[in-house]
Amino acid sequence: MNNKEIEIKNCSELCPMEFAMTQISGKWKLVILWHIYDSEVMRYGELKRAVSGITDKMLSNQLKELVSDNIIHKEVYEEIPPKVEYTLTEYGKSLIPIMEMLFKWGKEQLIRLNNDK
C-alpha cells in the first residue's frame, strides 16, 4: 500500500467517506432520491405523499440541497398552475447502486427481524 492510499484511508485531508456523507446524509435525502429513482420523474406533491412523515419545510429544504449539490434536477414549466418536476442528474444516477444495495440490505434485515419474532 502506498502513502496516498494510507492518507485516503486515514482521511487526513479530504475524506471520501465524509464527502459522500455530506452529499446524502440526513433522515430524508436517500428516501427522496429513492422515490425519484423509482418513478424517474416526480412532482413536489407526489414526493410529499410518498415520503411519509416529512414536513413541507423539510422536503423543500432537502430538495433545494439536492438541486444545489447537482444530485437532482428541478425543471420548472411556465404554466398556470406552475408545474415543477424533479429527476436524477447523471451525478445523482451514480448513487443508484448504493441505493439499491441499501434497499436490499434493509429488506433482508426486515425479513430477518420478522423471522426472529
The CATH number of the domain holding residue 42 is: 1.10.10.10
Say how far apart CA 96 and CA 34 lie, in whole Å. Answer: 8
C-alpha cell at 99: 441505493
Does the N-terminal peptide bond of residue 81 adopt cis geometry, omega within 30 degrees of 0? yes
Query: Is 86 inside a domain boundary?
Result: yes
Beta strands in 8-92 (DSSP E): 42-43, 72-77, 83-88
Residue 103: strand, helix, or coil: helix
Within a domain: 64: yes
Tell me, what's the pLDDT at 11?
61
Residue 46 belongs to domain spanning: 27-116
Tell whether 62 is covered by a domain: yes
In a domain, 17, yes or no: no
Query: What is the total count of domains within the chain?
Result: 1
Q: Is 36 a member of any domain?
A: yes
Give pLDDT, residue 111.
93
Q: Is residue 12 part of a domain?
A: no
Q: Is residue 1 part of a domain?
A: no
Three cell numbers written together for 110: 426486515
Q: Grid coordinates in use for 35?
A: 422515490
Q: pLDDT in tens for each of the 117 residues of the chain?
A: 444 454 555 666 678 888 888 888 888 999 999 999 999 999 999 999 999 999 999 999 999 999 999 999 999 999 888 899 999 999 999 999 999 999 999 999 999 998 887
Rounded CA separation 72/84 (Å): 12
pLDDT at 8 (0 to 100): 52
pLDDT of amino acid 9:
57
Q: What is the pLDDT of residue 42?
A: 98
In a domain, 70, yes or no: yes
The grid cell for 15 is 475524506
